[in-house]
Structure 1
Amino acid sequence: MKDIFALLKQGSMASLTAAVVNFILAGLKGLAFLFTANVAMFAEMMHSFGDGVNQLFVFTGSSLSKKAPTKRFPFGFGRLVNLVCLFAIIIVAILSYETVKEGIHHIIEPLPAQTETTLLLVNIGVLAISMMLEGSVLYKAGKELLQQAGQPFDGLKPLTLSYKHIDSAKPATKLVFLEDTVATAGAFLAIIAILIGRFTGLLQAEGIASVLIGLMMFYIVYRVFMENAAGVLGESDPHMEQRISKIVLKNDEIKDIQKLIVLKEGDALHVEVIAEIAPDLTVAYTNELRDDIEALILKQSHVTDVNMEFEVDDGKRSWPVTQNQLDRKSQKK
């Protein structure tokens, strides 16, 4: 039991926070929908519930993925977070479909306009609370994302700079950030639709908002499914491969790289390198060289283990390098 709690402590706190907030908001929106029968509120309720379920699954998966490697699973359980996300996204897909279907129904057969000020205030109030809470979770997730990307995270950067570095984040953090971006935008969209319906008489506005919110949810379904399906199958990280190749080739004793693979295992990265060296290097020097390069690679974000081997230089160029890199090596010689 202690092991389970220890693993849960290592899970994504951004996912857990987002799950709790979304379940609370789903309850508030559900009560508001029962009270006002507002279709935009129904869409937001489904959205919050779907996000809450998804993020709870992600928290569980991110926790269990930290389990230490075993003899049967020597690479650990990193991909478990990807597998759990695939199950969770099925629920979100069903809720997205129901949201779009309900929105289309209310575009074709819109409900009469609600003229009671009380109902308007209930809808606007609940959605405003939702937008503020979702925005705070979005800010926290953006801050965590920038920390993982090694970028400054002060001021408004978590809400602006995060989108530029989103691919550098861990899967769980990336998912929370995307879902809360859509959730915050969806709450704002629902408020606008309610106001348009009330003050312009365009009764289809709420149905249109419901469809748009459902389509945004489908975008999350597509994005999460594609990324986690790739993670389950075993995906390489081309960006990190290029970064590590520069670290390896920076050493004058490394003549070429025969093979370099950076494999994603959930949040972790496993690195395998086969480099070419001159045949006259001693075993002792080669071992020291390996230790130095592996130590540099292990300092890179998310890298958990490195396997580096050496082969004698065959005189043929296997790994592409820039002319600047070749010139620098020539100047050093």
Structure 2
Amino acid sequence: MTGDRAFRHIKANIVLYGALFANLGIAAAKFVAAAISGSSSMISEGVHSLVDSGNQILLLHGQNRAKRPPDDAHPFGYGRELYFWAFVVAILIFAVGAGVSIYEGWLHIATPEPLRDPTINYVVLAIALLLEGTSWTIAVREFNARRQGAPWWRAILRSKDPASFIVLFEDSAALLGLVIAGVGIWASHHFGDPRIDGMASIGIGITLGCVAVLLAREAKELLIGEAADPALIAAIWAVMERQPAVICVNHVRTIHTAPDAVFAAISADFDDALPMGAAETLIETIESELHAAVPELSSIYIRPEKRAAAVIQQRPL
């Protein structure tokens, strides 16, 4: 990879690289603090940051694999491989992040360790809050630029790029986990009960489990095939309806083959008086207009079909 291409690659994935470097440094600091203080919640937080680091590496790997060109085995490309790795990330968060945190918390409650000086924990948590907050701010800015004024939850549900919302969810969970860890460490020393620290570890695990379920749900929808945004479908419909030789549009079916690539299958009733050669020329013209109006369209299939024989789809508003 040349220097210019490498720079463009890093710039395009600034959210992932920012989260990766932040989490690697934070994970090391948390494990050192846990070893010195014996804090269960700090061990959970260290595992959390380590899992997050692995997740960012997997997403970068998925993005690289997804950019491979189409071939005979995969004529629509490898874009959806990114969705597979996003699903793997969700499983890792649940199995490793949440599982280890809950197990560690349970052990700390069952066999509590004597309390030690928590100062290093507070120092590491403060640094982690600063770094995670920076990563979270970058993720929020990037996601804001893409959601184009849509409500947050709707933008997440409609997003076809798992890297953007996975990092956002991870960083949000990380910030909440740091707060839980800090409260747990303080409360365990304030009340002289080390079991509270174990409860905080379980709280971190539950938080990660909830995030993992949400991410798995979104990754599953993308993996099994999700339709394009209604606005994009409406744009396709508008191009078809303004063609004089098109009597009506029966349906428009879309599926994302990558975050920025859409396959569209269109059924339309053409004027019976249109000669075969003219129909072929018209279809080529329509495809050119569709590519111009909707750049995300990577493949288009237009099927002339009588209205009576077709399954009719209502035009999106």
Match of 1:127 in 2: 125
The TM-score with structure 2 as length reference comes to 0.83
Give distance in 2, aligned partners of 1:247 and 1:307. Answer: 14
C-alpha deviation, 1:68, in angstroms:
2.1
Q: Does the 8 Å contact 1:259/1:275 carry over to 2?
A: yes
Cα deviation per residue 1:254-312 (whole Å; 9 max; x = unaligned)? Answer: 544333222122423323122334334554555434432342122xxxx2414041525
Match of 1:228 in 2: 219
Match of 2:163 in 1: 172
Give distance in 2, aligned partners of 1:56 and 1:88. Answer: 10
Selected match of 2:110 from 84, 93, 108: 108
Q: Does the 8 Å contact 1:256/1:313 carry over to 2?
A: no
When residues 229 and 312 of structure 1 are mapped into structure 2, their CA distance, relative to the original with a 3 A threshold, is closer
C-alpha deviation, 1:145, in angstroms:
1.4
Match of 2:57 in 1: 56
When residues 269 and 262 of structure 1 are mapped into structure 2, their CA distance, relative to the original with a 3 A threshold, is farther
Q: Does the 8 Å contact 1:262/1:269 carry over to 2?
A: no
C-alpha deviation, 1:46, in angstroms:
0.7
Give distance in 1, aligned partners of 2:197 and 2:178. Answer: 12
Q: Quick check: 29-38 or 105-114, which moved more?
A: 105-114
* Paired residue type of 2:255: L
Match of 1:33 in 2: 34
Match of 1:271 in 2: 263
Q: Give the 3-state SS of the residue equivalent to 1:196 in structure 2.
A: helix
The answer to whether residue 214 in structure 2 is matched with residue 212 in structure 1 is: no
Match of 1:314 in 2: 307
Give distance in 1, aligned partners of 2:237 and 2:251. Answer: 12
Q: Give the 3-state SS of the residue equivalent to 1:305 in structure 2.
A: strand
Q: Give the 3-state SS of the residue equivalent to 1:72 in structure 2.
A: coil
Give distance in 1, aligned partners of 2:84 and 2:7. Answer: 17
Give distance in 2, aligned partners of 1:246 and 1:83. Answer: 28
When residues 127 and 177 of structure 1 are mapped into structure 2, their CA distance, relative to the original with a 3 A threshold, is same
Supply the RMSD in Å over aligned alpha carbons. 2.9
Q: Does the 8 Å contact 2:157/2:218 carry over to 1?
A: no
Aligned residues: 303
Q: Does the 8 Å contact 1:8/1:63 carry over to 2?
A: no
Give distance in 1, aligned partners of 2:166 and 2:191. Answer: 37
Match of 2:285 in 1: 288
Q: Give the 3-state SS of the residue equivalent to 2:294 in structure 1.
A: helix
Selected match of 1:146 from 129, 144, 147: 144
Match of 1:181 in 2: 172
C-alpha deviation, 1:202, in angstroms:
4.3
What is the percent sequence identity of the aligned residues?
20
Give distance in 2, aligned partners of 1:57 and 1:188. Answer: 27
Q: Does the 8 Å contact 1:7/1:67 carry over to 2?
A: no
Match of 2:294 in 1: 297
The TM-score with structure 1 as length reference comes to 0.79
Q: Does the 8 Å contact 1:262/1:270 carry over to 2?
A: yes
Cα deviation per residue 1:93-123 (whole Å; 9 max; x = unaligned)? Answer: 1242121011122223333344xxxx32211
Q: Give the 3-state SS of the residue equivalent to 1:165 in structure 2.
A: helix
Give distance in 1, aligned partners of 2:216 and 2:46. Answer: 22
Q: Does the 8 Å contact 2:257/2:263 carry over to 1?
A: no
Q: Does the 8 Å contact 1:258/1:318 carry over to 2?
A: yes
When residues 252 and 267 of structure 1 are mapped into structure 2, their CA distance, relative to the original with a 3 A threshold, is closer
Give distance in 1, aligned partners of 2:39 and 2:212. Answer: 25
Selected match of 2:231 from 238, 243, 262: 243
Flag structure 1 segments of 5+ consecutive residues without an equivalent: 153-160, 326-333
C-alpha deviation, 1:48, in angstroms:
0.4
* Paired residue type of 1:291: S
Cα deviation per residue 1:117-153 (whole Å; 9 max; x = unaligned)? Answer: xx3221111111111211111111111112222349x
Flag structure 2 segments of 5+ consecutive residues without an equivalent: none
The answer to whether residue 98 in structure 2 is matched with residue 96 in structure 1 is: yes
C-alpha deviation, 1:77, in angstroms:
1.3
Q: Give the 3-state SS of the residue equivalent to 1:71 in structure 2.
A: coil
Q: Does the 8 Å contact 1:294/1:306 carry over to 2?
A: no
